Amino acid sequence: MVLGKATAPATAFCDFDGTITAVDTFDLLMQDTYGDVWRRIKADLLCFRLTLREAMDQLGAVLTARHLTALEKRMATFVPRPGFLRFLDAMDHAGIPVVVVSGGFLPLVEAVLREHRHRFKAVVAGLPVPQDQEGTRHHIHSPYSSEEELVAKALVMDRYGQGRTIAIGDGITDLRMAEAADVVFARDLLAGLLTERGVAFHPWRDFDDVSRLLVQLGLASPSGIRS
Protein backbone atom coordinates (compact mmCIF):
# COMPACT_ATOMS: atom_id res chain seq x y z
CA MET A 1 0.00 0.00 0.00
CA VAL A 2 1.33 3.44 -0.91
CA LEU A 3 0.76 5.92 1.88
CA GLY A 4 -0.56 9.35 1.05
CA LYS A 5 0.99 12.48 2.49
CA ALA A 6 -1.71 12.86 5.13
CA THR A 7 -2.01 9.20 6.14
CA ALA A 8 1.36 8.50 7.76
CA PRO A 9 1.66 9.56 11.43
CA ALA A 10 5.43 9.74 11.06
CA THR A 11 8.40 8.78 8.89
CA ALA A 12 11.47 7.01 10.27
CA PHE A 13 14.85 8.02 8.83
CA CYS A 14 17.46 5.43 9.69
CA ASP A 15 21.22 5.58 9.27
CA PHE A 16 22.96 2.45 7.97
CA ASP A 17 26.59 1.96 9.13
CA GLY A 18 26.71 1.32 12.88
CA THR A 19 22.93 1.72 13.11
CA ILE A 20 21.32 -0.93 10.94
CA THR A 21 24.61 -2.85 11.11
CA ALA A 22 25.92 -3.73 14.57
CA VAL A 23 29.36 -2.33 13.77
CA ASP A 24 30.37 0.71 11.72
CA THR A 25 30.91 -1.30 8.56
CA PHE A 26 31.99 1.70 6.46
CA ASP A 27 34.69 2.65 8.96
CA LEU A 28 35.85 -0.98 9.19
CA LEU A 29 36.09 -1.47 5.44
CA MET A 30 37.75 1.89 4.77
CA GLN A 31 40.26 1.17 7.54
CA ASP A 32 41.15 -2.22 6.06
CA THR A 33 41.25 -0.96 2.47
CA TYR A 34 42.90 2.45 2.77
CA GLY A 35 44.72 2.31 6.11
CA ASP A 36 46.64 5.52 6.83
CA VAL A 37 44.71 7.47 4.17
CA TRP A 38 41.41 6.70 5.89
CA ARG A 39 42.84 7.28 9.38
CA ARG A 40 43.93 10.79 8.31
CA ILE A 41 40.58 11.56 6.68
CA LYS A 42 38.67 10.25 9.70
CA ALA A 43 40.77 12.24 12.18
CA ASP A 44 40.25 15.45 10.19
CA LEU A 45 36.54 14.70 9.91
CA LEU A 46 36.03 14.12 13.62
CA CYS A 47 37.90 17.34 14.44
CA PHE A 48 35.76 19.21 11.89
CA ARG A 49 38.84 20.10 9.81
CA LEU A 50 37.12 18.39 6.88
CA THR A 51 33.46 18.50 5.94
CA LEU A 52 31.64 15.27 5.16
CA ARG A 53 31.55 16.32 1.51
CA GLU A 54 35.32 16.92 1.40
CA ALA A 55 35.97 13.55 3.06
CA MET A 56 33.89 11.71 0.46
CA ASP A 57 35.62 13.60 -2.37
CA GLN A 58 38.98 12.42 -1.04
CA LEU A 59 37.76 8.83 -0.79
CA GLY A 60 36.39 8.97 -4.33
CA ALA A 61 39.82 9.98 -5.58
CA VAL A 62 41.32 6.68 -4.34
CA LEU A 63 38.31 4.40 -4.88
CA THR A 64 38.98 1.99 -7.76
CA ALA A 65 36.61 -0.40 -9.52
CA ARG A 66 38.58 -3.31 -8.07
CA HIS A 67 38.29 -1.91 -4.56
CA LEU A 68 34.54 -1.32 -4.96
CA THR A 69 33.95 -4.91 -6.11
CA ALA A 70 35.93 -6.26 -3.14
CA LEU A 71 34.12 -3.95 -0.73
CA GLU A 72 30.70 -5.07 -1.99
CA LYS A 73 31.69 -8.73 -1.66
CA ARG A 74 32.83 -8.25 1.91
CA MET A 75 29.84 -6.11 2.85
CA ALA A 76 27.52 -8.92 1.76
CA THR A 77 28.81 -10.97 4.72
CA PHE A 78 27.21 -8.55 7.20
CA VAL A 79 23.60 -8.72 8.37
CA PRO A 80 21.25 -6.17 9.99
CA ARG A 81 21.47 -5.59 13.73
CA PRO A 82 19.29 -7.93 15.87
CA GLY A 83 15.78 -6.54 16.21
CA PHE A 84 15.89 -4.56 12.96
CA LEU A 85 13.49 -6.81 11.08
CA ARG A 86 11.10 -6.77 14.06
CA PHE A 87 11.36 -2.97 13.98
CA LEU A 88 10.34 -3.01 10.29
CA ASP A 89 7.34 -5.18 11.22
CA ALA A 90 6.33 -2.69 13.93
CA MET A 91 6.67 0.22 11.49
CA ASP A 92 4.56 -1.61 8.88
CA HIS A 93 1.89 -2.20 11.52
CA ALA A 94 1.96 1.47 12.57
CA GLY A 95 1.85 2.76 8.99
CA ILE A 96 5.22 4.51 9.40
CA PRO A 97 7.39 4.53 6.24
CA VAL A 98 11.10 3.81 6.77
CA VAL A 99 13.78 5.62 4.76
CA VAL A 100 17.37 4.37 4.93
CA VAL A 101 19.77 7.29 4.57
CA SER A 102 23.50 6.66 4.60
CA GLY A 103 26.55 8.86 4.25
CA GLY A 104 28.36 5.89 2.69
CA PHE A 105 28.24 4.16 -0.69
CA LEU A 106 24.92 2.92 -2.09
CA PRO A 107 26.32 -0.41 -3.47
CA LEU A 108 27.60 -1.30 0.01
CA VAL A 109 24.25 -0.50 1.66
CA GLU A 110 22.39 -2.56 -0.93
CA ALA A 111 24.77 -5.50 -0.46
CA VAL A 112 23.28 -5.92 3.04
CA LEU A 113 19.70 -4.76 2.47
CA ARG A 114 18.98 -6.07 -1.04
CA GLU A 115 16.53 -8.78 0.04
CA HIS A 116 14.68 -6.28 2.26
CA ARG A 117 14.71 -3.42 -0.28
CA HIS A 118 10.95 -3.59 -0.91
CA ARG A 119 10.28 -2.71 2.72
CA PHE A 120 11.73 0.81 2.53
CA LYS A 121 10.16 3.93 1.11
CA ALA A 122 13.63 4.87 -0.16
CA VAL A 123 17.31 3.98 0.25
CA VAL A 124 19.55 7.03 -0.14
CA ALA A 125 23.37 7.03 -0.15
CA GLY A 126 26.32 8.23 -2.21
CA LEU A 127 26.64 6.64 -5.65
CA PRO A 128 30.22 6.06 -6.93
CA VAL A 129 30.50 7.10 -10.60
CA PRO A 130 33.71 6.13 -12.49
CA GLN A 131 35.71 9.11 -13.79
CA ASP A 132 37.71 7.17 -16.38
CA GLN A 133 37.39 3.98 -18.40
CA GLU A 134 39.69 2.06 -16.07
CA GLY A 135 37.71 3.04 -12.98
CA THR A 136 40.82 4.24 -11.16
CA ARG A 137 38.93 7.02 -9.41
CA HIS A 138 35.28 7.86 -8.74
CA HIS A 139 33.06 10.86 -8.21
CA ILE A 140 30.58 10.18 -5.40
CA HIS A 141 27.21 11.51 -6.54
CA SER A 142 24.20 12.43 -4.44
CA PRO A 143 21.03 14.32 -5.45
CA TYR A 144 20.74 15.51 -1.84
CA SER A 145 23.96 17.40 -1.22
CA SER A 146 24.82 20.62 0.59
CA GLU A 147 27.93 22.72 0.97
CA GLU A 148 29.16 20.57 3.86
CA GLU A 149 27.47 17.19 3.28
CA LEU A 150 27.56 14.91 0.24
CA VAL A 151 24.39 13.21 1.51
CA ALA A 152 22.54 15.96 3.36
CA LYS A 153 20.21 13.89 5.48
CA ALA A 154 18.05 16.82 6.53
CA LEU A 155 17.28 17.42 2.83
CA VAL A 156 16.27 13.77 2.50
CA MET A 157 13.90 14.32 5.43
CA ASP A 158 12.39 17.31 3.61
CA ARG A 159 11.86 15.17 0.50
CA TYR A 160 10.34 12.07 2.08
CA GLY A 161 8.96 13.21 5.43
CA GLN A 162 5.31 12.54 6.29
CA GLY A 163 3.94 13.45 9.70
CA ARG A 164 6.49 13.60 12.51
CA THR A 165 10.10 12.91 11.60
CA ILE A 166 12.02 10.20 13.49
CA ALA A 167 15.83 10.08 13.22
CA ILE A 168 17.81 6.98 14.25
CA GLY A 169 21.59 7.12 14.17
CA ASP A 170 24.95 6.73 15.80
CA GLY A 171 27.56 8.98 14.18
CA ILE A 172 28.70 12.31 12.83
CA THR A 173 26.86 11.88 9.52
CA ASP A 174 23.58 11.86 11.48
CA LEU A 175 24.12 15.15 13.31
CA ARG A 176 22.20 17.52 11.00
CA MET A 177 19.41 14.97 10.59
CA ALA A 178 19.07 14.65 14.36
CA GLU A 179 19.05 18.42 14.86
CA ALA A 180 16.16 18.73 12.37
CA ALA A 181 14.04 15.75 13.50
CA ASP A 182 11.03 15.75 15.80
CA VAL A 183 12.06 12.54 17.61
CA VAL A 184 15.67 11.40 17.87
CA PHE A 185 17.22 8.05 18.82
CA ALA A 186 20.98 8.35 19.30
CA ARG A 187 23.85 6.20 20.50
CA ASP A 188 27.66 6.29 20.54
CA LEU A 189 29.31 9.36 18.95
CA LEU A 190 26.00 10.95 17.93
CA ALA A 191 24.74 10.82 21.52
CA GLY A 192 27.85 12.69 22.67
CA LEU A 193 27.56 15.35 19.96
CA LEU A 194 23.88 15.96 20.75
CA THR A 195 24.61 16.15 24.48
CA GLU A 196 27.26 18.82 23.80
CA ARG A 197 24.73 20.79 21.74
CA GLY A 198 21.83 20.41 24.15
CA VAL A 199 19.68 18.49 21.67
CA ALA A 200 17.20 16.10 23.30
CA PHE A 201 17.35 12.45 22.27
CA HIS A 202 16.38 8.94 23.36
CA PRO A 203 19.33 6.59 23.95
CA TRP A 204 18.99 3.12 22.44
CA ARG A 205 20.88 -0.19 22.36
CA ASP A 206 18.91 -2.12 19.78
CA PHE A 207 15.86 -1.70 17.58
CA ASP A 208 13.59 -3.35 20.13
CA ASP A 209 14.35 -0.32 22.35
CA VAL A 210 13.33 1.99 19.50
CA SER A 211 10.07 0.11 18.91
CA ARG A 212 9.15 0.16 22.61
CA LEU A 213 9.89 3.87 22.94
CA LEU A 214 7.77 4.65 19.88
CA VAL A 215 4.90 2.82 21.60
CA GLN A 216 5.41 4.99 24.69
CA LEU A 217 5.34 8.09 22.47
CA GLY A 218 2.04 6.96 20.94
CA LEU A 219 3.51 6.51 17.45
CA ALA A 220 3.36 2.70 17.38
CA SER A 221 1.04 0.07 18.80
CA PRO A 222 2.01 -2.64 21.31
CA SER A 223 0.16 -5.14 19.11
CA GLY A 224 2.65 -4.43 16.31
CA ILE A 225 5.65 -5.54 18.34
CA ARG A 226 6.58 -9.21 18.21
CA SER A 227 9.12 -10.92 20.44
Tell me which residue of 14, 39, 43 sits closest to 28, measured CA to CA.
39
- Choice between 196 and 135, residue whose per-residue pLDDT is larger: 196
Q: Which residues contact 43 (CB under 8 A, 6 or more apart)?
A: none
Per-residue model confidence as pLDDT tens digits over 78-115: 999 989 999 999 999 999 999 999 999 999 999 999 99
Residue type (1 letter), 96: I
Per-residue model confidence as pLDDT tens digits over 169-212: 999 999 999 999 999 999 999 999 999 999 999 999 999 999 99
Task: Tell me if 63 sits within 8 A of 34, measured CB to CB.
Answer: no
Q: What are phi and psi of 9, to 5 degrees?
A: -70, -25
Interior angle at CA 112, CA 96 and CA 26, nearest 5: 100
Domains, in order of start, for the chain: 10-224 (3.40.50.1000)
Look at 93-102, 128-137, 167-176, 212-221 and tell me which has the smallest mean pLDDT: 128-137
Say yes or no to pLDDT of 144 above 70: yes
Q: Which residues pair with 166 in a beta bridge?
A: 12, 183
C-alpha 222/C-alpha 141 separation (Å) is: 40
Q: Which residues pair with 186 in a beta bridge?
A: 169, 203
At 6 the pLDDT is 52
C-alpha 143/C-alpha 157 separation (Å) is: 13
Report the predicted TM-score, pTM, of the whole model to 2 decimal places: 0.92
C-alpha 172/C-alpha 187 separation (Å) is: 11
